[in-house]
Amino acid sequence: MAKRFPRAEAARAAARAALGEDVFKTLPNPVHLRSLMQRAAQTKSHTACQRIMHELNDQFKVLGGLMKLAGPLSDEISAAPLPNCPESCTTCASQYSPESWKTADWSKDHLWDDDATAETTAQGFVHNAGTDAAFVREKIEQYGDAILNRWRRRDSKKRAKLLLDAYPEIYRHRWVSASYIYNDTKRRIIRNDEGAEDVLHLPYIDLPSLSESPMPLLSLMHHRVHGEPSDWVLFDSEQMDVAFDLGNTRNNSHCVVMYGKYYGELIPWNVDSAHRCDIMGYPRARLILESQRLLFRFLKTMVELIMGHDVTHAVKGRSMWDAAASQGFQQSTRIASDATCVPRAFPPSPVFDAAELLQVLDARRNCVQDELWLLQTDPAYFRRLLQQFTNSALVDSLSTEKVQLHLIHAILGNFTRLHSWDFHRYAAKVL
């Protein structure tokens, strides 16, 4: 029996009463709207495309107005109360826009998961990720040395081929998130590289990083399967920024538990738990859980491809694996001068350590101070900074005025960064 939505039926009844049956029958249906969108995508005439887009815009406004006659549909999809934290709360706004949900129009309803679907989806991601992680963990326990030797013996081209077999959508260049930049003039995200959207769930997985050296993959495999998924929640959440901003997720008014034995279970929103990140809004949590499921499926496939079907002559044991792990897999995760260049997906999971935090803050502050000194004393370094900025893709998407402002910030920004690192160091010492 088809599910009934009283508010949707009320909207249709209100539309018939307000417009009359004859006018109501002339309203666009989904097939017509889809046909218009296909025509807009296929036409080569700029004028024709503009005419179609205007028609689409008018019809969407009509449909949106009719649906608002009966109010939002969110309470028919989820039994959980809507979050009441204001949009000015950066923690909650990074997981969903709670205030916006109170006036959600019809166009957002097709992006909603009902409670049953949301629960099945979240727990399915957790279960599948756990199963694949257990498989990889077992193979490392049995054949860790064989996996290490076989992967290390391959050259970069053979490693790249295996990576493509395991993950055909893997990004072919470094820093997939750099393919998405903000256009300050149009205030929207634009894509520079075809295919980047498919890999936003795993932005730290790219072909050069994993093929040029054998150690990053082994390090990633070791630290991910020997820890808990909850240990990586904040890191994985940070990696989802671009995907979340693009709207590559679905909505539900529940939150998801992101730690402990109830990991992945739905729970109503609670301000204290949400602000501690013990729970996260379903839209953000869904992205995190899906990214973890994709990661462990990728790692499982890589182990299967590395080992092959015949393991009769494979070396058993993991003594060499443990030795490589104790050495940080040959320090494959080098420390760079800029925090954005550190491949943080490959070391152990982040752990709060006040002493180590102070050391990192000191190092960052000293790097900024050194760069300031070079900018003031070395003309060649100053020219190189200007050249790097003018050759960046960001310049092409900005107006002349914006370019000048960004250029000033690029030159003088280190003064602000120096004071910022000083503040963070002071705060860390106080804490």
User: pLDDT tens-digit profile of 204-218?
Assistant: 889 998 999 899 999
Task: Give the predicted TM-score (pTM) of the model.
Answer: 0.70
Give the pLDDT score at 3: 41
User: Rounded CA gap, 419 and 425, in Å?
Assistant: 10
- The answer to whether the CB of 429 falls within 8 A of the CB of 358 is yes
- Could you tell me the end-to-end alpha-carbon distance of the chain, in angstroms, rounded to an integer? 59
- The answer to whether the CB of 280 falls within 8 A of the CB of 237 is yes
Name the token pair of 263.
């990991």
Name the token pair of 216.
């990053």
Give the pLDDT score at 41: 57
DSSP state of 263: T
- Helix 46-68 vs helix 30-42: crossing angle, to nearest 10: 150
Instruction: Report the DSSP beta bridge partners of residue 280.
Output: 256
- The answer to whether the CB of 274 falls within 8 A of the CB of 257 is no
Give the pLDDT score at 300: 96
Give the pLDDT score at 223: 92
Phi, psi of 393 (to 5 degrees): -70, -20
Amino acid sitting at position 327: Q
User: Rounded CA gap, 329 and 324, in Å?
Assistant: 5
Residue 367: closest CA among 359, 378, 355: 359
All residue ranges of the chain with pLDDT < 50 are 1-8, 11, 64-75, 98-110, 183-192, 332-342
Give the pLDDT score at 99: 43
What lies within 8 Å, CB to CB, of 324 at 6+ separation is 148, 215, 218, 330
